[in-house]
Amino acid sequence: MIQVKRGFVLLSVAGAAVLGALSLSACASTEYDQRIAEMNTRLSVVDARATSADQKADQALSADQAAQAAAAHVNERVDSLTTTVNGLEQAPPPRTPRG
pLDDT digits (tens, 9 = 90+) for 43-54: 999 999 999 999
Q: What is the pTM of this model?
A: 0.51
Q: What is the pLDDT of residue 44?
A: 94
- Give 63 or 18, the one with higher predicted confidence: 63
pLDDT digits (tens, 9 = 90+) for 68-80: 999 999 999 999 9
- pLDDT band for position 28 (cuts 50, 70, 90): low
What are the C-alpha distances in Å from 80 to residues 11, 69, 83, 84?
A: 101, 17, 5, 6
Interatomic CA distance for residues 90 and 85, integer angstroms: 9
Q: What is the pLDDT of residue 94?
A: 75
Please enumerate, as own/partner, the contacts of 79-85 that have beta carbons within 8 Å and a separation of 24 or more: none
